[in-house]
Copies of this chain bind each other. A is one copy, B any other.
Amino acid sequence: MKIALLGCGVVGSGVKEILDASEQNVKITKILVKDKNEIREARMTTNIQEILNSDVDVIVECIGGIDIPFQYIRQALQHKKHVVSSNKKVLATHYKELVNMAKKNGVILAFEASVGGGIPWLENIRHIKRIDHISTFEGIFNGTTNYILDKMTSKGVDFQIALQEAQNLGYAESNPIDDIDGHDVKYKCCLTANVIWDTSLPLEEILFFGIRNTKKKDIIYATQKNAVLKLTGRAVKVDKRIQILVIPAFLSSQENMAHLPKNLNYGKIKSEYLGESCYIGQGAGKYPTAHAVVQDILSILEKRKLSPEISKEFSIERDYVSHFYIRSQRVSSLQNFVSDILDEETVLTKNVNLLELLPYIDKDTFIAEIRL
């Protein structure tokens, strides 16, 4: 089977290393690079058309960014090439179009590396789904923010210092908005829900909150309560609706998920026959991501049923009733919802519907669910 790599950066070079060393019947015959002076091997080119019109069977997109990968993935599918991508943003945003396009062209669209690539996460979901009915999933799907919160907890450092450390270690991008504001987890939860429930959820309707405004005092509160602050994502299917939410949460230290260290990812599934099953592994990084990409390639080679279905419609349920911790300059306006006042800017709410709190949440607010 012949493979084309689009992009040979961190992930691409990992895929190249693994496949070039592999004894499987899989060879990289084309590599797209951005610039003529990056060409070092005969199989490298700067011309996407040359790749689209070649005899490659699979096109692996590891360019990064949005518009160009989206274009290339579409073109690849139209040229009846199987596509493997780790680009969660492109996939979650254009899910319906891309999945349908793959189906129409009789090729596979695979994206194991897009969510918890080092776990493996979507692979286990597909496996369990063959037999079982999954009712809910939850987890910690962003290693960067887990690293930041873990450092803030274990070392008592400020958010900015922990973020800087994550950047120095290559965990966080120089522009970390996607990670710290919860977009990344939103994409991943959307893709996970789509795969589990054979659907295509409207990404823009998913409620999400990040950890950008986390302060030392929030961590101290967690410690006092024998809890741990984590950025969680989850979804539950209730009849024809899916309740899906990305939010920081104070988890009881009794919960296994509370003990996830470093930049790892954690995913938990509830299904009818298995009950709860949990998966922990690297969510990113050169080799874990490249491993997941190569798994997709081998599964295509083995003709496994990888392609997702979009056969069901669900509406997104935005109601979510729980207790929340809120730190804001506008706490006085929250008085109807308050059960405890921690200090002049921090309150705990009664059991309330998150939708009722939305009007009071601005860009400087820190909000977290209390699960104790």
Interface residues of A (CB under 8 A from B): 14, 18, 22, 118-120, 123-124, 127-128, 130-132, 254, 256, 259-261, 264, 272-282, 285, 287-288, 290-291, 294-295, 298, 302, 304-305
Contact of A281 among B118, B131, B277 (CB under 8 A): B277
Contact A278 B277 (CB under 8 A): no
| A260 partner residues in chain B, CB cutoff 8 A | 256
- A254 contacts which chain B residues (CB < 8 A)? 261
In the complex with contacts A124-B120, A277-B118, A278-B280, A298-B130 CB distance below 8 A: yes
Cβ of A114 to closest chain B Cβ, rounded Å: 16
Copies of this chain per assembly: 2
Known contacts A291-B131, A294-B131, A304-B302, A274 near B282 by CB under 8 Å: yes
- Known contacts: A131-B294, A131-B295, A131-B298. The answer to whether A287 contacts B259 by CB under 8 A is no
Q: How far is the CA of A120 from the CA of B271 in the complex (A)?
A: 13
Which B residue sits closest to A279, measured CB to CB? B279
Q: Considering only CB atoms, which chain B residue lies closest to A130 in the complex? A: B298
**Cβ–Cβ < 8 Å partners of A274 in chain B:** 118, 281-282, 287-288, 291
A273 touches B288 (CB 8 A): yes
Minimal beta-carbon separation of A131 from chain B (angstroms): 5
Decide: B130 and A295 in contact? CB cutoff 8 A. yes
Contacts of A275 in B (CB 8 A): 118, 281-282, 285, 287-288
Contact A119 B256 (CB under 8 A): no
- Inter-chain CA distance A305–B14, complex, in Å, is 26
Supplied contacts A118-B275, A259-B259, A279-B279, 19 more A-B pairs, CB within 8 Å: A14-B273, A120-B127, A120-B128, A123-B127, A124-B124, A130-B298, A131-B294, A256-B259, A272-B287, A273-B288, A273-B291, A274-B281, A274-B282, A275-B281, A276-B280, A276-B282, A277-B279, A279-B280, A304-B304
Would B256 and A280 count as touching, CB distance under 8 A?
yes
Which residue, of A118, A131, A261, A278, has the highest number of chain B Cβ atoms within 10 A? A131
Please name 5 pairs of A and B residues whose Cβ atoms are closer than 8 Å in the assembled complex, sorted by A: A131-B291, A274-B287, A275-B282, A278-B278, A302-B304
